[in-house]
């Protein structure tokens, strides 16, 4: 009996392998042998945390299109980027996003696959995240930012006057961004800079999210109870949900009272709550509102924190860039309190270029944002791809492609500036630039993320001269070689996590801020 079962299993498996390699509709596409046969290939790279680097390797080896899973294709051109994610693409978010529902009672906008439901939620959320609403969030953010900067003041070091102790800036930015997202979403900081235990939700969920990422590639894993791995995450998220629910109740109370008095909102929750209270408005239900606001915190924390620490890494490894940027900021403002949203900050052209260049060279979104092709199939890069196939363009591949960027591994902000680069080169680079995604599923928090980055870096460089502690492994190497070493960081699920650089701060001689 056992022998018959074993023979049947081996024969079925062999037939499946032969089918996937030779008769499957994607059989003609190149890719790693294991990947063409099974999604275990992706699961392995999710757990090793090098999914983003493996895509770079695969495209270097196989070219513009790679079959990395039995039903999955990865592309690397701007045409594919538009075809797959553009606003008229015949695609929807793939099953991968459903894995997030293991953690959520009510799916957030990000986890909603159904296109009409997604566009309804996104329309509502966009009202709180529109350009017009940005000033609502600014003063709360600046208050937190000033407290954050105080941590780096050197006065506390008796042995080394003038120089602060060393800080791991990735960790600092994570705590700060978590607190500032608390302020942004619920009008109240989470206080993790004072008590890092409060940031447990961000720090401890990474392990579970890795499991979640793998389940997204291979749903069968959840039947194997592999999600036991995620038990801790589920427990922590449940605690966080309860905490967020308490914050929501506070917001509702405050909103009901303040609406009567001043009608002023101060956070995303307030705005979305007031929309949902308007008669006849298609707003969020209360459970949707709670889910949306609390999940916005997790979506906006790691991403912005990673982007800021990558930017510091590039600035400190390229001293001429750091000098030019510092000069731009210190000559544009005469006091730190002047650094606010508005015309002067927007006129800091080099700051904007430094941010874009860092988002290009070190994207924080790892892997490939998968989209499933809908009924009727679609043409990508001239090939007709059938319905049901998962397709995507990995950020690490397209934004480092020599097809779109000269010296793609170099951190060179001038490539974005019309005063220093011909317009056609800038346009070619822009067409492949997608750190926030593109189209109707691109980042709805993009505007706020950029404001946070501009304000944080401008105030930091206005106030401090910054020194990097060079690790032994980096000594004597070029900036690009150091970047390659830093690249060995890990992909948690959606976001590539970072550590360091380790920094010491010195008050700038010109600093007039307090
Ligand atoms: C530098 C920082 C950030 C980067 C690079 C980034 C990048 C992205 C990307 C690539 C997506 C598309 C994801 C996908 O298709 O699965 C996305 C979606 C999203 N982001 Fe961001 N993000 C950042 C910061 C933020 C912030 C601060 C917020 C909140 C204020 C936010 C809220 C969202 C939301 C809600 C979505 C889902 C949009 C949808 O499905 O329609 N992000 N982000």
Q: Which atom number of ligand 1 is nearest to the Cα of residue 363?
A: 5
Q: Which atom number of ligand 1 is nearest to the Cα of residue 365?
A: 10
On whether 443 is known to bind a ligand per the annotation, the reply is yes
* Contact by Cβ (8 Å): 164, 292: no
pLDDT greater than 70 at residue 160: no
Pairing status of strand 390-392 against strand 72-75 = parallel
* Contact by Cβ (8 Å): 506, 154: yes
Of the ranges 205-214, 350-359, 407-416, which one carries the lowest mean pLDDT score?
205-214
pLDDT greater than 90 at residue 401: yes
Q: Which atom number of ligand 1 is nearest to the Cα of residue 108?
A: 35
Of the ranges 317-326, 328-337, 347-356, 462-471, which one carries the lowest mean pLDDT score?
462-471
Pocket, ligand 1, Cβ cutoff 6 A: 109-110, 122, 296, 299-300, 303-304, 307, 364-365, 369, 435-437, 441-445, 448-449
What is the C-alpha separation between 355 and 204, in angstroms, rounded? Answer: 28
pLDDT greater than 60 at residue 512: no
Of the ranges 84-93, 192-201, 206-215, which one carries the lowest mean pLDDT score?
206-215
pLDDT, mean of residues 280-286: 85
Sequence spans of domains, the chain: 10-507
pTM of the predicted model as reported, rounded to 2 decimal places? 0.94
Q: Which CATH number fits domain 10-507: 3.40.50.300, 3.30.420.40, 2.40.50.140, 1.10.630.10?
A: 1.10.630.10
Q: In the numeric block, which tokens belong to residue 4? A: 């018959």
**What is the ipTM score, two decimals?**
0.99
pLDDT, mean of residues 300-323: 95
Question: Considering only CA atoms, which residue is closest to atom 20 of ligand 1?
Answer: 443
pLDDT greater than 60 at residue 508: yes
What is the C-alpha separation between 414 and 360, in angstroms, rounded? Answer: 13
What is the C-alpha separation between 458 and 328, in angstroms, rounded? Answer: 9
Name the average pLDDT for the chain: 89
Of the ranges 141-150, 219-228, 283-292, which one carries the lowest mean pLDDT score?
219-228
- 308-318 pLDDT, tens digit each: 999 999 999 99
Cα-to-centroid distance, 296 and ligand 1 (Å): 9
Q: Which residues contact 213 (CB under 8 A, 6 or more apart)?
A: 46, 51, 96, 99, 367, 491, 492, 493, 494
pLDDT, mean of residues 243-250: 85
Cα-to-centroid distance, 466 and ligand 1 (Å): 29
What is the C-alpha separation between 39 and 460, in angstroms, rounded? Answer: 44
Cα-to-centroid distance, 427 and ligand 1 (Å): 23
Q: Say how far residue 193 (Cα) sits from the centre of its chain.
A: 21
- Confidence tier at 240 by pLDDT (50, 70, 90): confident
What is the C-alpha separation between 94 and 217, in angstroms, rounded? Answer: 10
For the chain, give the percent of residues with pLDDT over 70.
90
What is the C-alpha separation between 151 and 153, in angstroms, rounded? Answer: 6
pLDDT greater than 60 at residue 259: no
Cα-to-centroid distance, 437 and ligand 1 (Å): 8
Cα-to-centroid distance, 449 and ligand 1 (Å): 9
């Amino acid at each position: 009996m056992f022998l018959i079962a074993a023979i049947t299993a081996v024969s079925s498996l062999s037939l499946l392998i032969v089918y996937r390699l030779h008769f499957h509709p994607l059989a003609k596409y190149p890719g790693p042998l294991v990947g063409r046969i099974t999604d275990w290939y992706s699961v392995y790279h999710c757990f090793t945390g090098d999914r983003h680097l493996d895509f770079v390797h695969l495209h270097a080896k196989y070219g513009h299109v790679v079959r990395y899973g039995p039903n999955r294709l990865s592309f690397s051109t701007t045409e594919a980027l538009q075809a797959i994610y553009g606003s008229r693409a015949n695609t929807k978010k793939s099953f991968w996003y459903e894995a997030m529902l293991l953690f959520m009672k009510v799916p957030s906008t990000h986890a909603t696959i159904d296109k009409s439901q997604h566009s309804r939620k996104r329309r509502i959320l966009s009202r709180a995240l529109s350009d017009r609403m940005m000033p609502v969030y600014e003063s709360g953010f600046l208050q937190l930012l000033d407290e954050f900067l105080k941590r780096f003041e050197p006065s506390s070091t008796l042995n080394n006057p003038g120089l602060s102790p060393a800080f791991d800036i990735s960790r600092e930015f994570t705590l700060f961004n978590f607190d500032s997202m608390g302020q942004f979403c619920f009008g109240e900081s989470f206080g993790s800079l004072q008590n890092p235990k409060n940031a447990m939700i961000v720090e401890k969920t990474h392990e579970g999210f890795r499991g979640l990422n793998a389940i997204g590639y291979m749903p069968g894993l959840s039947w194997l109870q592999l999600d036991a791995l995620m038990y801790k995450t589920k427990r922590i998220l449940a605690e966080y949900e309860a905490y967020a629910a308490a914050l929501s109740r506070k917001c509702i109370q405050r909103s009901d009272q303040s609406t009567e008095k001043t009608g002023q909102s101060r956070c995303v929750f307030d705005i979305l709550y007031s929309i949902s209270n308007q008669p006849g408005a298609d707003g969020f239900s209360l459970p949707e509102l709670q889910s949306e606001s609390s999940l916005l915190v997790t979506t906006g924390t790691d991403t912005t924190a990673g982007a800021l620490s990558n930017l510091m890494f590039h600035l400190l490894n390229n001293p001429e860039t750091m000098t030019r940027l510092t000069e731009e900021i210190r000559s544009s403002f005469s006091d730190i309190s002047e650094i606010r949203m508005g015309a002067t900050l927007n006129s800091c052209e080099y700051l904007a270029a430094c941010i874009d260049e860092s988002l290009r060279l070190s994207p924080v979104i790892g892997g490939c944002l998968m989209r499933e092709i809908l009924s009727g199939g679609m043409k990508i890069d001239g090939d007709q791809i059938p319905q049901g196939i998962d397709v995507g363009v990995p950020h690490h591949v397209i934004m480092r492609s020599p097809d779109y960027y000269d010296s793609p591994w170099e951190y060179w902000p001038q490539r974005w500036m019309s005063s220093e680069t011909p317009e056609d080169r800038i346009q070619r680079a822009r067409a492949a630039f997608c750190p926030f995604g593109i189209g109707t599923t691109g980042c709805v928090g993009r505007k706020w993320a950029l404001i946070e980055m501009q304000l944080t870096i401008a105030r930091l460089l206005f106030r401090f001269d910054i020194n990097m502690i060079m690790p032994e492994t980096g000594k004597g190497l070029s900036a690009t070689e150091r970047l390659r070493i830093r690249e060995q960081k890990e992909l948690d699920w959606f976001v590539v996590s970072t550590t360091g650089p380790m920094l010491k701060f010195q008050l700038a001689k010109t600093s007039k801020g307090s």
